[in-house]
Amino acid sequence: MDNLKIGQYIQSLRKAKGLSQKQLADHLNISFQAVSKWENGESMPDTGILLELCELLDTTADRLLNGGTYMMKQRKIMHVEDVMEGFRCMEMIGKCFGEHSTFYEGMIEGINKRMNIDLLEYMNDPKTREVMYAEVLIQGIMEGKTVDMDEVRSLFTNQHMIDVIEQYLTKTNA
């Protein structure tokens, strides 16, 4: 990161808003000296106020941290086949290590506790298994990844899950 470039960007946005360093500082409950240090490239805004700063200056955190340069989002694609393979691998741990091994039981217990489900029961039912696939895809979408909806439509049978995945994808692309 180029602190000076970021500082200059903050300064230009602040001035465009017609704010003094003191006014910006007052909005953020910090000293005007802190704003001055940002603008001179001597320091960076604290992460605790970064989002509020961006909101005040009508910019995004990624754009601010790149000194005003718009970064094209390169979203990593998730493949449904990979998600399905991940679940098959979980099953293979039970087969390879034994269903009563500490590793396998610990994995299952951890997932059950974290998700408040009975993973083995869900994995044995094709409908709930597909719901778990959708959950993994949705979590990925929420983390900035994307999916090919044609692949989703070809591998999912539950139209509701297809619709939900598409809704999440649409929201995050907006």
pLDDT at 103: 92
Which one, of 52, 86, 47, 61, lies nearest residue 6 by Cα? 61
Could you tell me if 48 and 106 lie in one domain?
A: no
Could you tell me if 37 and 93 lie in one domain?
A: no
Count of domains in the chain? 2
Does 150 score more than 80 pLDDT? yes
Token couple for 137: 């895809």
Cα 57 to Cα 24: distance, rounded to the nearest angstrom: 9
Model confidence pLDDT, tens digit, residues 122-146: 999 999 999 999 999 999 999 889 9
Could you tell me if 49 and 133 lie in one domain?
A: no
State which residues form the domain around 161. Answer: 77-173
Could you tell me if 59 and 131 lie in one domain?
A: no
Please compute the mean of the pLDDT values over residues 80-90 and round it to a whole number. Answer: 95
Question: Is the residue at 151 inside a domain?
Answer: yes
Question: Is the residue at 48 inside a domain?
Answer: yes
Question: Is the residue at 70 inside a domain?
Answer: no
Chain-wide mean pLDDT for the chain?
91
Cα 67 to Cα 50: distance, rounded to the nearest angstrom: 14
Question: Is the residue at 72 inside a domain?
Answer: no
Question: Left (φ > 0), alpha (ψ -120 to 50) or beta: where does 58 sit?
Answer: left
Task: Transcribe 41-52 into DSSP letters.
Answer: TS----HHHHHH
Model confidence pLDDT, tens digit, residues 15-51: 999 999 999 999 999 999 999 999 999 999 988 898 9
